[in-house]
Amino acid sequence: MTNAALAGADAAASAPGSAGRAAESPVDTAAARRGEARLAVSAPDGLGLPGRSAARTPTAEVRQALPLVTVRDLSVAYDTTTVLDGVDLDLFPGEMVALLGASGSGKSTLMRSLTGFAPISSGSVRVAGHDVTNLGRGELRTLRSDVGQVFQQFNLIPRLSVLTNVLTGALHGAGPINMIGGFSGAHRRRALELLDRVGIAHKANEPARSLSGGQQQRVAIARALMQQPKVILADEPVASLDPKLADSVLELLREIATQDGIPVLVSLHVLPLALAHSDRIIGLRHGRMLVAGATSQLDAAALEPLYDDEEHDDDAHH
Ligand SMILES: Nc1ncnc2c1ncn2[C@@H]1O[C@H](COP(=O)(O)OP(=O)(O)OP(=O)(O)O)[C@@H](O)[C@H]1O
Ligand SMILES: [Mg+2]
């Protein structure tokens, strides 16, 4: 079974495989203009970010499609503490976007905002056609089934088989189902295909707990794909893996983005991984977006201000 066959004709058609051919065409969508404007105003001196030509970067071509996620001027507050402040974000089909920022900068909160789990105080959030700030009756379930999630700790059910863990992805949006014998043959075939795609079909009948961390994360990715997501959010998916496995899991996620046309937002805390495995990087600092740009235009020095410590910051003020 090949990956192409598994991806399905629809997915292949929507993948941005032709992005390279469009490299010459000017990108003048409203989203790109906004991105350009934001870069111009949010990049502090010395960040080394590109200037006004930033919108015409290689990743800008994918923006000719409509974004699947659009966040505008998002603020999130817990009680009186503002955790996200004026965040803008677009995610386009087929791109892998790395989300960076020091601990507490708001990465997980931003991801939670996309699935209706954060107290949004102002701004707009649209995800796969859903207005997250104004969800209709029953729409929360559909929203969450449209968003595949991958977590640092994999969140598998350890005693259940790998196959059953993947099948639980089909429960999203389906309402309560009897787990025993509740899955159709078609579901099982699809789960096996997905396990084949992520390279661990031979482990299908093993209990999830018997797998290595890297293998477990692959199961979790197959589970996310099982729900046929329109967007994938991966919150520190490789933080528990050694560097080699981290690379291979990020390669898999990027392959899914490219081949299936699903945008992947992935938070990372290792800069070289973000630089090696993303099309675009956005960086939060104290809940504000400090960096937004094509990965090809960024380097470690440009990302360093995201991690400047507080004392340094205070010094600058006094
Ligand atoms: N449920 C909550 N109630 C109150 N404050 C919260 C809650 N969730 C998050 N916060 C606060 O919001 C801020 C951002 O947290 P968040 O988890 O988004 O950071 P993060 O960038 O994901 O950090 P890390 O890299 O450690 O995962 C932190 O100051 C945190 O204490
Ligand atoms: Mg977090």
φ/ψ of residue 22, rounded to 5: -90, 10
**CB of residue 78 inside a 6 A radius of ligand 1:** yes
pLDDT tens-digit readout, 188-197: 999 999 999 9
CB proximity list for 45: less than 8 A, separation 6 or greater:
none
* Domain contains 173: no
pLDDT of 22 strictly over 50: no
pLDDT tens-digit readout, 255-265: 999 999 999 99
In this prediction, residue 126 has a pLDDT band, given cuts at 50, 70 and 90, of very high
* Domain contains 305: yes
Strands 147-151, 81-91: parallel, antiparallel or unpaired by DSSP? unpaired
pLDDT tens-digit readout, 135-186: 988 899 999 999 999 999 999 999 999 999 999 999 875 555 545 557 888 9
The CATH number of whichever domain residue 102 belongs to comes to: 3.40.50.300
* Domain contains 215: no
- Rounded CA separation 186/82 (Å): 46
* Domain contains 204: no
**CB of residue 104 inside a 6 A radius of ligand 1:** yes
**CB of residue 83 inside a 6 A radius of ligand 1:** yes
Residues 230, 236, 240, 242, CA torsion sign:
positive
Residue 111 alpha carbon to ligand 2 centre in Å: 9
Ligand 1 site-directed mutation target among 109, 121, 152, most atoms within 8 Å of CB: 109
* Domain contains 220: no
Report yes or no: 62 and 17 within 8 Å, Cβ to Cβ. no
| Residue of 269, 276, 274 lying closest to 104 (CA atoms) | 269
Confidence (pTM): 0.80
Residues 184, 189, 195, 198, CA torsion sign:
negative
- Rounded CA separation 131/150 (Å): 22
Q: How far is CA 57 from CA 28, 35, 53, 62, 219, in A?
A: 12, 11, 8, 10, 34
* Domain contains 199: no
In this prediction, residue 198 has a pLDDT band, given cuts at 50, 70 and 90, of very high
* Domain contains 195: no
User: Domain range for residue 89?
Assistant: 3-17+28-43+52-155+229-317
3-class state of residue 204 by DSSP:
coil
Residue 272 alpha carbon to ligand 1 centre in Å: 24
- Rounded CA separation 227/173 (Å): 8
Residue 109 alpha carbon to ligand 1 centre in Å: 6
Mean pLDDT, rounded, for 268-278: 96
- As for how many domains the chain has, the answer is 1
